Amino acid sequence: MSETPGFVHGLAGVPVAHSRICFIDGEKGILEYRGYPIEVLAERSTFEEVAFLLIRGKLPTRAELDDWQSQMKRLRRIKYKLIDLLKCLPETGHPMEALQAGVAALGMFYPGRKSRELEPAIRLTAKLPTLVAAYHRLRAGDADVMPKDELDHGQNFLYMLSERMPDAVEARIFDQCLILHAEHSMNASTFSARVTGSTEADAYAVISSAVGTLMGSLHGGANEEVLELLGRLGTPDKVKPYLDDAMAKKEKIPGFGHRVYKTKDPRALILQGLAERLFQHRGSTPLYDVARELEKQMLERVGKKGIHPNVDYFSGIVYHLLGIQTDLFTPIFAIARVAGWLAHWVEQMEDNRIFRPSEIYTGGREVAYVPIDRR
């Protein structure tokens, strides 16, 4: 079926927009947000500044950044009715499901939510961490923790999760993780955001679509699966028998491969460095030895095909060392990626045309209707 002229399975390589937000060279492993190399942003910037860069299209001046940060802080709190809604959700659900429900409900609280002005974008970026942290605490039977104005975006999220002031080194590393996950051109969830936005649905519907799309194990859900796999393997000697079996069954190994990168994902390189910095601070984890062995053997087996670690490979190790529960990894991805989704929503609405692709119909025609008692 993929041989049909004009049909591109999974839309691989098919441009669906003109965009000034993100540049990727998958052969060379280059990633830039608005033209700024990811390595420079991860080293020198903060998530709040990067969110401004993505959504507003330029780096802020000091006054603009101060204003942006104070707006974000002002908009962090969520209504008590939303807390009540989160309390009613089953604690057996996944926090991504709770996040999607929370984001969808959020839009009902704000009149003028169809506005294309920036307030919904700032509000969503500000409130996503509060939703994730609140659901996490409520499902464990703990009270939610109010945001603290004196903390920056990443610090405040860590604080709302644990009710403890985060260590400065760890909070900085976490903020760098948010920067690395903030944007990645026309991936599945961003496309989903653009498609929803193209119907003129509001920003809350746009972001709840994108959260739902990020959930899957082929996309943002892979970071959780990586850590589960490393934990299951436990020691480097288990890697070979696992890979022999998985490869024979043609299984995909989580955290490897990418539609665009044919070399090691530049974000994986930076995340590996962050993991090593965290080891100096906190001590290493045996999971890292397993991860290194798995990477080595994958390189030997499928490196020639361009299958290398992607962003999800080392992020789980970093979050694990920060004491974060595994099923929060993908919601943390969403907390960061919301900036990219919103940048694409803003851009989509500047020159909008509803997405309406076609299909190649392969079903029957003019089929005779058979009454139910004769089928």
Q: Which residue is closest to ligand ACO by CB? A: 257
Kindly report the CA angle at 112 between 110 and 117, in degrees rounded to 5?
A: 110
Joined tokens for residue 216: 């899957």
Residue 219 engages ligand ACO in binding (rule: CB under 6 A): yes
Q: How far apart are CA 255 and CA 226, in angstroms?
A: 6
Least CB distance from residue 168 to ligand ACO, whole Å?
28
Q: Judged by CB under 6 A, which stretch of 73-81, 165-173, 215-223, 354-362 contacts ligand ACO? A: 215-223
Residue 142 contacts residue 225 (beta carbons within 8 Å): no
Give whichever of 33 and 159 is closer to ligand ACO, judged by the CB atom.
33
Is residue 201 involved in binding ligand ACO (CB under 6 A)? no
Within 8 A by CB and 6+ apart from 70, the residues are: none
Q: Which residue in 221, 212, 204 sits closest to 345, CA to CA?
A: 204
> Taking every pair of C-alpha atoms in the chain, what is the biggest distance, in angstroms?
75
Q: How far is the CB of 219 from ligand ACO (least distance, A)?
A: 4
| 312 annotated active-site | yes
Give, as ranges, the residues between 283 and 322 that touch ligand ACO (CB under 6 A).
Answer: 302, 305, 307, 310-312
From the candidates 258, 308, 320, 344, which is the catalytic residue? 258
CB of 312: closest distance to ligand ACO in angstroms? 5
What φ, ψ does residue 33 adopt, rounded to 5°? -100, 120
Any contact of residue 13 with ligand ACO (CB under 6 A)?
A: no
Window contacting ligand ACO (CB under 6 A); options: 57-65, 106-114, 214-222, 282-290: 214-222
Catalytic residue among 181, 308, 312, 344: 312
- Among the listed residues 264, 258, 186, the one whose alpha carbon sits nearest the alpha carbon of residue 28: 264
- Assign 288 to helix, strand or coil: helix
Of residues 105 and 233, the one with the C-beta less far from ligand ACO: 233
Residue 255 sits in the site that holds ligand ACO (CB under 6 A): yes
- For residue 32, the cross-strand partners are 23, 37
Q: Is 102 in the site for ligand ACO (CB under 6 A)?
A: no
Of the pair 69, 187, the CB lying nearest ligand ACO is at 187
The reply on whether position 197 binds ligand ACO by CB under 6 A is: no
Does the footprint of ligand ACO cover residue 252 (CB under 6 A)?
Answer: yes
Tokens of residue 243, six digits = 């890979």
Q: Please tell me whether residue 194 binds ligand ACO under the rule CB under 6 A.
A: no
Q: Is 258 in the site for ligand ACO (CB under 6 A)?
A: yes
CB burial of 31-66 (b: ≥16 within 10 Å; e: otherwise) equals bbbbebebbebbeebbbbbbbbbbbbeeebeeeeee
Contacts of 68 (CB under 8 A, 6+ apart): 48, 51, 52, 60, 122
Q: Give me the residues that bind ligand ACO (CB under 6 A), please.
A: 10, 187, 218-220, 222, 252-259, 302, 305, 307, 310-312
Active site residues: 258, 312
